């Protein structure tokens, strides 16, 4: 049972659009880690689910989708509801899905008629039930508020419910539509959505346990409370995180953990194909728990972390940087990854060599090996043993003192050999090898552990793994590495004049969004998960909604546009009134205003809209900050001093960054215009020249600090 991605859905029967606790959450786990999305309406959630699945199918991925409501009802219900003759065939769970899909209405603002439909179902049964419970103020004829006696033959629970316990919790009866933990209402508004998903995906989808779990997309019922102890611990460690968020993350992570280790199959083994359905993982709680990674995300940043001391007006760049550095801490937890898949990831713990490299003394060259003590100065003649030692083909006999053995590069030194003479320095007649002494003791050999000792720290926590590191880790027998979950960087553009993409037409007063593709690409280049939050108009509510979305889907949000303090600066206005804004007036050109704020636990970098300023602010401020939050520590760019190829008179007060590149004779030339609207200069340049905030009269030949794009990880 191979799965590339696990999506766990925490459903909701809310009758209004809702976020946060008791609303809809998706937990998505795959090789890049786990993310959670909070979605306010069922229609949007259905669309998102279908979008995720279609993207996965397009990439030939196999997906497991778990939903936290019942896929089937206790035995007997399907027959009675849909009018199938009880004796005829096995009950068809999909007939119930279809029955509900025909009757349930559910608007784009979550207005549903589930109570009417429950009453309609009740009318098909003698007595008051089976459905009961009404959380609404208005009475619903045919739907009792308290538990009625069940019609003859209908059970209160399914067999699977008894198995699906977790820290004392056990699924409630599917008949119960209201009250804490009741799953009945969610089931009624959930099954119609799944019915349509089935129609959309046809044979790409298998619904387990009604169908064998062998389609590209497998849908199953889950019960996140099975991990309630772990969820509790997670919430305690992450103040502000709602339970639903923790539940979908942890369950998706646990199921994906099993998938990665090829350990999912047993969960599907005891499939019971009756229409009651089955909770995936019931009876396998321990396996699920074990599949969870050791550590969860550390606490989020404090809401006041960006506060600038009172009375501060203009902040020099260096002060801003050190204040920012002090405000932040790593925000992503750790997971284990196979070493071969860990390139680009950041180690969350030191990596310890499992054995020495090399593990045993071996030969560094092709030649002849012998005991040094048996040789001296002048011509040496050593009889050859009739054997050979090669890499992967060790010679396991002792080589007698005074004799030599043919030995090849990488071969373990046989017993009795401590020195090797290079083949090119010898002659041999097949019976003996001849060379000139003296030879240095231990010549042409590698000592055990001369590269890395067993138990030594091979790479430290915080190190970002590059291709050569995978070589080292593999050489040391490190099969799995603890790495930080990749930082998710949300990017949103604001502005009434902005058109989201150049594939759409723009009127003369409109401009295409230049910042978002740039920032998303930077995030990806830096090894983070780019989260495209799209473009929004200059409208407080729209921006707020998008930030909500961003806080649910990303660890940090980059906005561009509207960050100043003017009439049209909607981002900073919103962050000031509804978030915790700290407007940093940084003595920087280009750039100046950087709006830093916390929004629902996520730090927001409000970048200027101007692409030149947006890039400079991102490289100078966001890059080291993201690196710190991702667990790789603060990153300062490496600059070097070169003679200027330009002249410029500069006033004191602001630190300046000029678009620059190196000439063939190693001087720095700058772009012809400092105009901050000149986007072409960003592409013309290969780096930035940094001028200090003092007054300066730069002449050709004056030494200036050059920061290549590459030193910002910009490739
Ligand atoms: P603002 O920071 O919103 O005052 O914008 C400053 C300048 O940058 C204005 O000329 C905007 O039209 C422009 N601008 C804002 N956002 C973008 C964007 N995403 N792409 C290109 N230009 C932008
Ligand atoms: Mg604007």
Is 683 in a helix, a strand, or coil?
Answer: helix
Ligand 1: distance of its center to the CA of 610 in Å?
5
- CB of 445 within 8 A of CB of 428? no
Q: Where are the beta strands (DSSP E) in 111-196?
A: none
Q: How confident is the model at residue 299 (pLDDT cuts 50, 70, 90)?
A: confident
Measured by CA distance, the residue closest to atom 15 of ligand 1 is 609
Give CA–CA dist 211/203, Å, rounded.
11
| Range in 107-111, 349-353, 699-703 with the lowest mean pLDDT | 349-353
| Range in 200-214, 444-458, 572-586, 668-682 with the lowest mean pLDDT | 572-586
CB of residue 538 inside a 6 A radius of ligand 1: no
Token code pair at residue 18: 């809702």
CB of residue 572 inside a 6 A radius of ligand 1: no
Give CA–CA dist 114/123, Å, rounded.
14
- Helix residue ranges, H only, 424-539: 467-475, 515-525
Give CA–CA dist 95/73, Å, rounded.
11
Closest atom of ligand 1 to 538 CA is: 3
Q: How many CB atoms lie within 10 A of CB 18?
A: 16
Side-chain-side CA neighbours of residue 56 (13 Å): 27
Ligand 1: distance of its center to the CA of 617 in Å?
14
Give me the pLDDT at residue 667, please. 98
Question: Pairing between strand 696-698 and 648-650?
Answer: antiparallel
Closest atom of ligand 1 to 516 CA is: 19
The preferred substitution site among 561, 593, 606, 608 for testing ligand 1, maximizing ligand atoms within 8 Å of CB, is: 561
CB of residue 495 inside a 6 A radius of ligand 1: yes
Rounded to 10 deg, the angle between the 184-201 and 114-122 helix axes is 100
Give CA–CA dist 32/345, Å, rounded.
9
What is the number of the ligand closest to the CA of 560? 1
Mean pLDDT of 314-340: 88
Give CA–CA dist 482/474, Å, rounded.
14
Please state, rounded to an integer, the average pLDDT across all residues of the chain: 91
Ligand 1: distance of its center to the CA of 494 in Å?
8
Ligand 2: distance of its center to the CA of 297 in Å?
34
Give CA–CA dist 441/446, Å, rounded.
12
Q: How confident is the model at residue 312 (pLDDT cuts 50, 70, 90)?
A: low
The 3-class secondary structure across 185-230, one letter per residue, is: HHHHHHHHHHHHHHHHHHHHEEECCCCCCCCCEEEEECCHHHHHHH
Ligand 1: distance of its center to the CA of 511 in Å?
9
- Helix residue ranges, H only, 396-539: 467-475, 515-525
Give CA–CA dist 346/72, Å, rounded.
44
In sign, the C-alpha dihedral spanning 20, 26, 27, 31 is negative
Ligand 2: distance of its center to the CA of 591 in Å?
14
In sign, the C-alpha dihedral spanning 445, 450, 454, 457 is negative
Measured by CA distance, the residue closest to atom 7 of ligand 1 is 610
- Given a cut of 60, whether residue 122 has pLDDT beyond it is yes
Phi, psi for 61 (deg, rounded to 5): -95, 155
Ligand 1: distance of its center to the CA of 525 in Å?
23
Q: How many CB atoms lie within 10 A of CB 112?
A: 19
CB of residue 593 inside a 6 A radius of ligand 1: no
Ligand 1: distance of its center to the CA of 596 in Å?
18
Token code pair at residue 619: 């490289």
Is 378 in a helix, a strand, or coil?
Answer: strand
Q: List the beta bridge partners of residue 406.
A: 368, 388
Give me the pLDDT at residue 356, please. 87
The preferred substitution site among 493, 494, 495 for testing ligand 1, maximizing ligand atoms within 8 Å of CB, is: 495
- Given a cut of 90, whether residue 198 has pLDDT beyond it is yes
Ligand 1: distance of its center to the CA of 306 in Å?
24
User: Which DSSP category does 93 fall into?
Assistant: H
CB of residue 608 inside a 6 A radius of ligand 1: yes
Give me the pLDDT at residue 516, please. 98
Token code pair at residue 409: 């590069």
Token code pair at residue 643: 């003679």
Token code pair at residue 357: 């490299």
pLDDT in tens, 44-72: 999 999 999 999 999 999 999 999 999 99
What is the number of the ligand closest to the CA of 608? 1
Q: How confident is the model at residue 623 (pLDDT cuts 50, 70, 90)?
A: very high
CB of residue 674 inside a 6 A radius of ligand 1: no
Q: Which of 464, 455, 604, 593 is nearest to 526 (CA)?
A: 464
- Given a cut of 90, whether residue 157 has pLDDT beyond it is no
Give CA–CA dist 320/417, Å, rounded.
62
- Given a cut of 60, whether residue 525 has pLDDT beyond it is yes
pLDDT in tens, 412-447: 999 999 999 999 999 998 899 999 999 999 999 999
Mean pLDDT of 29-53: 95
Whole-angstrom CA distances from 185 to 71, 123, 135, 180, 611 are 13, 17, 10, 11, 49
The preferred substitution site among 493, 560, 615 for testing ligand 1, maximizing ligand atoms within 8 Å of CB, is: 560
pLDDT in tens, 240-285: 899 999 999 999 999 999 998 889 999 998 767 677 899 998 878 7
What is the number of the ligand closest to the CA of 593? 1
CB of residue 606 inside a 6 A radius of ligand 1: no
Burial 306-325 (b: 16+ CB within 10 A, else e): bebeeeeeebbbebbbebbe
Place of tokens 């925490």: 10
What's the whole-model pTM score?
0.61
Answer whether the bond into residue 689 is a cis peptide, omega within 30°.
no
Whole-angstrom CA distances from 606 to 326, 495, 547, 630 are 19, 13, 11, 19
Give CA–CA dist 69/221, Å, rounded.
6
Token code pair at residue 432: 């003996």
Give CA–CA dist 707/636, Å, rounded.
10
pLDDT in tens, 461-488: 899 999 999 999 999 988 878 889 899 9
CB of residue 611 inside a 6 A radius of ligand 1: yes
What is the number of the ligand closest to the CA of 512? 1
Measured by CA distance, the residue closest to atom 14 of ligand 1 is 609
CB of residue 676 inside a 6 A radius of ligand 1: no
Ligand 1: distance of its center to the CA of 615 in Å?
12
CB of residue 686 inside a 6 A radius of ligand 1: no
Q: Which of 336, 297, 320, 330 is nearest to 627 (CA)?
A: 330
- CB of 71 within 8 A of CB of 9? no
Q: Which residue has the higher pLDDT, 594 or 631?
A: 631
Ligand 2: distance of its center to the CA of 200 in Å?
40
Give CA–CA dist 592/620, Å, rounded.
12
Give me the pLDDT at residue 88, please. 65
Rounded to 10 deg, the angle between the 243-260 and 228-237 helix axes is 120
Ligand 1: distance of its center to the CA of 539 in Å?
15
- Given a cut of 70, whether residue 310 has pLDDT beyond it is no
């Amino acid at each position: 049972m191979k799965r590339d991605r696990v999506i766990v859905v925490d459903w909701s029967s809310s009758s209004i659009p809702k976020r946060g606790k008791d609303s809809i959450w998706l937990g998505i786990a795959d090789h890049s880690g786990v993310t959670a999305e909070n979605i306010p309406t069922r229609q949007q959630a259905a669309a998102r689910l279908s979008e995720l699945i279609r993207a996965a199918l397009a990439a030939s991925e196999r997906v497991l989708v778990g939903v936290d409501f019942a896929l089937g009802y206790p035995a007997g219900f399907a027959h009675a509801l849909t009018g199938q003759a009880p004796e005829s065939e096995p009950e068809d769970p999909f007939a119930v899905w279809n029955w509900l899909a025909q009757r349930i209405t559910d608007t784009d603002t979550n207005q549903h008629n589930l109570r009417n439909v429950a009453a309609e179902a009740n009318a098909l049964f003698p007595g008051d039930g089976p459905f009961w419970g009404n959380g609404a103020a208005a009475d619903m004829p045919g739907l009792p508020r308290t538990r009625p006696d069940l019609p003859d033959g209908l059970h209160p629970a399914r067999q699977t419910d008894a198995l699906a316990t977790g820290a004392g919790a056990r699924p409630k009866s599917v008949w119960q539509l209201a009250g804490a933990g009741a799953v009945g209402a969610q089931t009624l508004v959930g099954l119609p959505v799944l019915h349509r998903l089935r129609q959309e995906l046809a044979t790409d989808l298998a619904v387990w346990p009604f169908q064998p779990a062998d389609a590209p997309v497998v849908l199953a019922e889950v019960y996140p409370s099975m991990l309630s102890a772990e969820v509790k611990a997670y919430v305690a460690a992450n103040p502000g995180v709602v339970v639903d968020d923790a539940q979908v993350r942890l369950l998706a992570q646990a199921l994906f953990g099993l998938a990665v280790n090829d350990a999912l199959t047993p969960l599907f083994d005891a499939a019971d194909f009756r229409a009651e359905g089955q909770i995936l993982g019931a009876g396998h709680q321990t396996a699920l728990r074990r599949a969870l990674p050791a550590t969860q995300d550390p606490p989020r940043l404090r809401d006041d972390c960006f506060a600038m001391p009172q009375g501060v007006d203009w902040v020099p760049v260096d002060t801003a940087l050190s204040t920012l550095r002090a405000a932040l801490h790593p925000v992503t937890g750790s997971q284990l990854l196979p070493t071969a898949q860990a390139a680009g990831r950041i180690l969350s713990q030191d990596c310890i060599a499992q054995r020495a490299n090399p593990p045993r003394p071996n030969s560094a060259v092709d030649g002849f090996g012998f005991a040094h003590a048996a040789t001296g100065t002048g011509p040496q003649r050593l009889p050859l043993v009739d054997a050979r030692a090669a890499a992967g083909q060790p010679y396991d006999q002792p080589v007698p003192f005074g004799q030599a053995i043919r030995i090849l590069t990488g071969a373990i030194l046989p017993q009795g050999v401590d020195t090797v003479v290079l083949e090119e320095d010898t002659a041999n007649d097949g019976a003996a090898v001849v060379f000139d002494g003296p030879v240095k003791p231990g010549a042409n050999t590698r000592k055990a552990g001369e590269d890395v000792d067993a138990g030594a720290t091979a790479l430290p926590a915080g190190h970002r793994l590059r291709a050569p590191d995978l070589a080292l880790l593999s050489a040391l027998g490190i099969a799995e590495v603890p790495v930080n979950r990749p930082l998710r960087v949300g990017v949103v553009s604001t502005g009434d004049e902005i058109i989201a993409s150049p594939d759409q037409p723009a009127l003369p007063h409109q401009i295409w969004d230049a910042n978002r593709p740039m920032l998303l690409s930077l995030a990806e280049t830096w090894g983070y998960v780019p989260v495209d939050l799209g473009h929004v108009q200059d409208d407080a509510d729209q921006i707020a909604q998008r930030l909500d979305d961003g806080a649910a889907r990303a660890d940090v949000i980059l906005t561009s546009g509207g960050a100043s303090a003017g009439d049209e600066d909607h981002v900073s206005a919103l962050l000031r009134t509804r978030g915790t804004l700290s407007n940093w007036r940084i003595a920087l050109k280009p750039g100046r205003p950087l709006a830093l704020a916390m929004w629902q636990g996520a730090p927001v970098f409000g970048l200027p809209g101007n692409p030149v300023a947006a890039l400079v602010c991102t490289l100078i401020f966001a890059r080291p900050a993201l690196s710190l939050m991702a667990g790789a520590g603060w990153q300062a760019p490496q600059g070097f001093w070169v003679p200027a190829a330009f002249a410029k008179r500069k006033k004191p007060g602001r630190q300046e960054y000029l678009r620059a590149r190196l000439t063939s004779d190693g001087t720095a030339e700058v772009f012809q215009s400092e105009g901050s609207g000149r986007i072409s200069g960003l592409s013309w340049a290969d780096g930035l020249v940094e001028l200090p905030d003092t007054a300066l009269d730069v002449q050709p030949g004056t030494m200036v600090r050059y920061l290549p794009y590459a030193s910002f990880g910009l490739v």
